[in-house]
C-alpha cells in the first residue's frame, strides 16, 4: 500500500474514532500532498519518496514552530505542535542514528577523496542522497565538518 493511500485510510479511521488531533494533522498532510501534486508541470502522481519528502518538510516546519514558541514561552502552542509533530513522525522513516551517519560519511569521504573542509560539498551530496529523509542536514553538515577537520 502506498504511503498516500495509507494517509487516506488513516484519515477515515481517525474521523470515525473522532480523533480531532489526528484528523486535523492528516487533513493538513493530505492538503500538502495536493499542493505538491499540482505545482510546477500540472497534475502528477507522487511516489512514496516524494510523499516522504513532503512529510519531512512539514515536520521541519513544525519543529521550527515549536522552537519559536519555546522562545516565546507559549507552552500551550508548544504542546499542541509537539503532538502534531508526533503524528507526522509516525509516517516518516526511522531516523538514522549518529553511528550510521558517521559510517556513510566515512564511505563518502573515502570514495570522493575529500581531505579538507573545502571538500564539504563533495561529501554532503552523496551522504544526503544515501540518507534521504532520514536525517537533518544541519547534523550531517556538523558531522562532515568534524570528520574533515579530524582527517
CATH number for position 11: 1.10.1510.10
79 & 104 share domain: no
- 77 and 117 in contact (C-beta within 8 Å)? no
Q: Assess whether 84 and 106 both reside in one domain.
A: no
pTM over 0.85: no
| Number of neighbouring beta carbons within 10 Å of residue 116 | 9
Neighbours of 146 (CB within 10 A): 13
**CA separation for the pair 83, 62 (Å, rounded):** 10
Check whether residue 68 and residue 103 sit in a common domain: no
Q: Which domain holds residue 108?
A: 98-150
Residue 83: all three cell numbers together:
503532538
Under 8 Å between Cβ of 109 and 121: no
- Cα angle at 30 between 38 and 18, to 5 degrees? 155
Tell whether 133 and 83 lie within a shared domain.
no
Q: Which of 45-59, 76-90, 94-108 has the highest mean pLDDT?
A: 76-90
**Across residues 79-85, what is the average pLDDT?**
92
Banded model confidence at residue 42, pLDDT cuts 50, 70, 90: low
Number of compact structural domains in the chain: 2
User: Is 35 in the same domain as 104?
Assistant: no
At 98, list the grid cell: 549518529
Amino acid at each position: 500500500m502506498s504511503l498516500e493511500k495509507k494517509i487516506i485510510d488513516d484519515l477515515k479511521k481517525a474521523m470515525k474514532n473522532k480523533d480531532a488531533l489526528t484528523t486535523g494533522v492528516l487533513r493538513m498532510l493530505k492538503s500538502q500532498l495536493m499542493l505538491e501534486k499540482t505545482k510546477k508541470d500540472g497534475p502528477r502522481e507522487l511516489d512514496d519518496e516524494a510523499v516522504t519528502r513532503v512529510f519531512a518538510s512539514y515536520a521541519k516546519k513544525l519543529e521550527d514552530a515549536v522552537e519559536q514558541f519555546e522562545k516565546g514561552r507559549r507552552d500551550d502552542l508548544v504542546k499542541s505542535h509537539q503532538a502534531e509533530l508526533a503524528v507526522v513522525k509516525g509516517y516518516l522513516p526511522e531516523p538514522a542514528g549518529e553511528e550510521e551517519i558517521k559510517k556513510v560519511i566515512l564511505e563518502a569521504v573515502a570514495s570522493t577523496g575529500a581531505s579538507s573542509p573545502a571538500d564539504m560539498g563533495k561529501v554532503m551530496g552523496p551522504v544526503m542522497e544515501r540518507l534521504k529523509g532520514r536525517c537533518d542536514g544541519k547534523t550531517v553538515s556538523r558531522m562532515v565538518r568534524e570528520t574533515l577537520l579530524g582527517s
